Chain A
């Protein structure tokens, strides 16, 4: 294996393992309730049947 091969394997594995560790750390470290406050949901008004029914009910 050449030095280039070792560099490619090191960079690729670092990126993938780093991404995995970052995600798992965040997923395991957060409780579901912590996610609720960030932004209000956009009302999707596309004329879809479900939306029309919702409006009628309101």
Chain B
């Protein structure tokens, strides 16, 4: 079956940007910045963007395009093109494992956004006006409590089913008719909705005359006033590097798959940089101007600290509904906010499915109907633990190993294979083939030496800080221990299964040749 190609340059740029722009741009970034030195956080953040985000993005676009021309669109095949050793194929299995593991829980969180958009416009969400009520609304919706709003998990499950079907309908239509089309529609809407909400927040002023210091400038100050002493703390630098990873989608196995659908002469240097720039605009300009400044205006200098410490989910699903409740046009603004998050979620989640689809089609010769049916059934079953055992630590365990540690591990492997095994000179020439911009030569040095060193430091620190405890399940309560152990074993078996599938696929090919 011939592989598809993107129909336009803007299509792939928006698809990759859509994959990168997610809930993290609007919820995680502002919380990270506020907790890690305010405006000073931007110094390690921009440095990490230049030393990790942009170089890795170019590496992934280049590797994906080259391997796509040889019929490979997923981690194992792509890495094997650049390093023929069989270990590269096994290691490349992470490029399928990571996005699917994240998808198993991300699709459920994405469905909350759709549900909240519905509850906002229908008025139910407006009834949860205090922090306590908003929290009760969320926990009852998740099926963790029974109260006046929800009894059981049926509502959440219905929205999960709707979201799940939407994802697979897009994937079933293929790269051009599905992913490219939805990206071309969703991304402009996403930008417009983001600008609408941002404009509303930036024109709030100081709505309470009795408390003039609870103002927009106060909120922006909380977010942006630099605390340069924070820069002496290693954790701040690692948080910035972590945020760059989460936001740019590098190391997930997504960009290499999307880039594999490029034509041989398509540009990757400018397109890769463009997708990063869209993502950064949505994060630093729009994302930073909504949640935290709005929360400061309505909760003041003391309340905002509690909000920031509550984390990203608390900010999105508890604090923001309360904020909209105090504004005119509550229902409409609430709907716009959650629909914005939902669109950001959809464009990200569909990209998590494509590496596995590419693997089944490219390496096993599945037709679209077979690959989508197989993956649909598999992911539907595998997504259930995150729904029904949400409070048992299952999601946290998956998020640490697949959504944090494995991403950095995979990116480290990619950049070492590209810069050292394949060779930075050849790699840099590949990057420039068909390029519409000249990448500064300093990036040769960065890709070969700086990026891998930076990644190894992050990997070592995370493993030392959290990895050992997570591996030995030290932080897990006795009650949650069986669930955590089962999740860990499930992840090991799943990864081993992918490695076995890779071995079978290549043995089949060897027999044929």
When the two chains form the complex, which single residue of A2, A6, A8, A30 contacts B42, counting CB atoms closer than 8 Å? A8
Which residue of B264, B274, B285, B513 contacts A53 across the interface (Cβ within 8 Å)? B513
B217: nearest chain-A partner, CB-CB = A1
- Asked if residues A32 and B9 are in contact (CB atoms below 8 Å), the reply is yes
* Closest residue of A by beta carbon distance from B433: A41
Which residues of chain A are within 8 angstroms of B38 by Cβ–Cβ distance? 5, 8
Provided the pairs A20-B280, A36-B434 are in contact, do residues A27 and B218 lie with their beta carbons within 8 angstroms?
Answer: no
Q: Given A52-B513, A53-B513, A5 and B277 touching (CB < 8 A)? A: no
* Interface residue B221 (Cβ < 8 Å from any Cβ of A): yes
- Cα-based distance from A17 to B289 in the complex (angstroms): 14
Interface size class of A (residues with CB under 8 A): 35 or more
Q: Is the CB of B81 within 8 A of A35?
A: no
Residue pair B39, A5 in contact (C-beta under 8 Å):
yes
Within 8 A of B (CB), among A43-58: 44, 46-53
Let me know if B273 and A12 touch, CB within 8 A.
Answer: no
Among candidates A2, A13, A44, A48, residue contacting B225 with C-beta atoms closer than 8 Å: A2
Chain A residue at minimum C-beta to C-beta distance from B218: A1
Stretch touching chain A among B65-73, B150-158, B162-170? B65-73
Q: Is B10 an interface residue, CB under 8 A from the partner?
A: yes
Answer whether residue B468 sits at the interface, using C-beta atoms and an 8 A cutoff: no
Q: Which residues of A contact B82 (CB under 8 A)?
A: 44, 46
* Cβ A39 vs Cβ B81 within 8 A: no
Taking a contact as CB atoms closer than 8 A, the residue among A9, A20, A38 that contacts B224 in the complex is: A9
Query: In the complex, A6 Cα to B9 Cα: how many Å?
Result: 36
Q: Which residues of chain B are within 8 angstroms of A1 by Cβ–Cβ distance?
A: 217-218, 220-221, 224-225
Q: Are A42 and B42 in contact (CB under 8 A)?
A: no
Min Cβ gap A2→B in Å is: 5
Are the C-beta atoms of B39 and A50 separated by less than 8 Å?
no
- Beyond A39-B429, A46-B84, whether A26 also contacts B270 by CB under 8 A is yes
Q: Give every chain B residue within 8 A of A27 (Cβ-Cβ).
A: 9-10, 13, 270-271, 274, 436
Which B residues touch A32, using CB under 8 A? 9, 266
Type the 1/0 row for A9-21, where 1 means its CB is closer than 8 Å to any CB of B: 1011101110110
**B226 contacts A8, C-beta separation under 8 Å:** yes
Check A35–B284 contact: CB distance below 8 A: no
Q: Is the CB of B513 within 8 A of A16?
A: no
A49 to B363, alpha carbons, bound, how many Å?
Answer: 12
Cβ-based interface call for B265 (8 A): yes
Does B83 make an interface contact (CB < 8 A)? yes
A39 to B218, CA, bound (A): 52
Complex contacts, B429 vs chain A, CB 8 Å? 39, 42
Specify which chain B residues have a CB less than 8 angstroms from the CB of A44 in the assembled complex: 66, 70, 81-82, 422, 426, 430
Majority SS at the chain B contact face: helix
User: Would you call A46 and B435 a contact (CB within 8 A)?
Assistant: no
**Chain A residues closer than 8 Å to B302, beta-carbon distance:** none
Complex contact A38–B434 (CB within 8 A): yes
Set of chain B residues within 8 Å of A53, measured between Cβ atoms: 513
Bound complex: CA of A38 vs CA of B437, how far in Å? 10
Are A4 and B39 closer than 8 Å at their CB atoms? Answer: yes
Q: Do A13 and B280 have beta carbons less than 8 Å apart?
A: no
- With A4-B39, A15-B46 in contact, is A24–B509 under 8 Å at CB? no
Known: A1-B218, A27-B10, A39-B432. A9 touches B273 (CB 8 A): no
Chain A residues with Cβ below 8 Å from B39 are 4-5, 7-9, 12
B residues near A40, Cβ cutoff 8 Å: 433
Counting chain A CB atoms within 10 Å of each CB, the highest count among B265, B278, B422, B435 belongs to B265
Q: Give B120 Cβ to nearest chain A Cβ, in Å.
A: 29
Residues of B close to A24: CB separation below 8 A: 274, 277
Q: Flag whether B510 is at the interface (Cβ < 8 A).
A: yes
Bound complex: CA of A1 vs CA of B213, how far in Å?
Answer: 11
Known contacts A32-B9, A44-B81: A16-B285 contact under CB 8 Å: yes
Q: What CA separation (Å) do A54 and B271 show in the bound complex?
A: 29
Which of A7, A12, A38 counts the most chain B CB atoms within 10 A?
A12
Please give, as numbers and ranges, the residues of chain B lying within 8 Å of A48 by CB-CB distance: 70, 80-81, 84
Is B285's CB under 8 angstroms from A8's CB?
no
Expressed in whole angstroms, the minimum distance between the Cβ of B447 and any Cβ of chain A is: 16
Decide if A5 touches B281 in the complex (CB within 8 Å).
no
Closest to A30 in B: B436
Contact B71 A50 (CB under 8 A): yes
Structural contact, B40 and A20, CB atoms closer than 8 A = no
- Within the complex, which residue of B40, B42, B81, B265 is in contact with A50, where a contact is CB–CB below 8 Å? B81
Q: Lowest 4 A-B CB distances belong to which pairs?
A: A8-B39, A1-B221, A50-B70, A23-B274
- Using CB atoms and an 8 Å cutoff, list the residues of chain A in contact with chain B: 1-2, 4-9, 11-13, 15-17, 19-20, 22-24, 26-27, 30, 32, 34-36, 38-42, 44, 46-53
- New A-B pairs, 17, CB < 8 Å, besides A8-B38, A19-B277, A42-B426: A1-B218, A1-B220, A5-B226, A12-B42, A12-B46, A20-B281, A23-B277, A27-B9, A38-B434, A39-B429, A41-B430, A42-B429, A44-B82, A46-B84, A49-B509, A49-B513, A50-B72
